[in-house]
Amino acid sequence: MDALHYAAARPVMTLLTAVFTPFQPDGGLALEVVERQADALAAWNCPAAYVGGTAGEGASLSTAERMLLLERWCEVAAGRLDVIAHVGHTSLAEARTLAEHAQRTGVRAISAVPPYFHRPQDATAVAEFIARITEAAPELPFIYYHIPSVTGVTVPASAVLEAARDRVPSFAGIKFAHGDLADFQRCLRLAGDQHELYFGNARLVLAAVGLGARAAIGSAYNFAAPLFLRMLEHVERGEREAALECQLRAQDAIDAVSGHAGELAGFKAASALVGPDCGPCRPPLGSLDDRQRDRLRADLTRLGLLGATPGATPGPAPGPVRVAGEVAG
């Protein structure tokens, strides 16, 4: 099978977007919005959409809904950007069904979290579970999704890489949505040029670049792509202080967005201010009310994120806005 070459798209780092699932006010799928989401990504040359992951609320969708969503993404993305399908599930049978469907639908790659209810206790168990999933889609590269803050699976990603790369013929890399930079550095050393590491913590992208990361997947790029693209341009030109200022402003924006009704609800609302409106989150997650949306708009305006276009220079940096929270894609 062909290797994934996203890292070659930019001199420093390529950004892939973990997209939201659009919902109607009553919670049903709003598939008519997907084309506008793809248009928004194509406008700033995003090479791929990661569908049905944490940002896509994949665990809150039925298998039938995940299939319909993926089919729509493949329809509207054809010829413009790749689709990476998250097929992770607590049920191995369902994960295999999703993987087989993804291969038939025409995605570029599949990805999965480990099972997060009855959890694997070591890297060998993770690798065995991955192997069983990939048997259903042997033609597709597989990206392991490491996000222990959500799954509760704390097996180091580096241990999974060592256990899976020989056990899983289609193993292509890891989506690393964690803040353990020491483990990420071990993964980079183990991966070499054979596998790709997709960094998934938007707060630490600049640090990951410094360690040698060449690609990232995240949901913050739905609303803050211009700021991250500018940061990478500064890195490419050797402008370290300017790059750091962009990263710090991104952290402030993430904190501000997460502080109104939770991270995912805030991210979806922020994205609606600059692009397609993907509607509310599904329960048990909440959504922003009108007052919170007004405050969010004010925060993003103050931080210079509203009115920007991809590649544009963000406005002057305001004082920091600090609200606790973490980011994953």
- The tokens for 50 are 């990661």
6, 50, 144, 145: which is the annotated catalytic residue? Answer: 145
6, 50, 144, 175: which is the annotated catalytic residue? Answer: 175
- Whether 221 is a known active-site residue: answer no
Q: Which amino acid is at 15?
A: L
- Whether 145 is a known active-site residue: answer yes
Active site (catalytic) residues: 145, 175
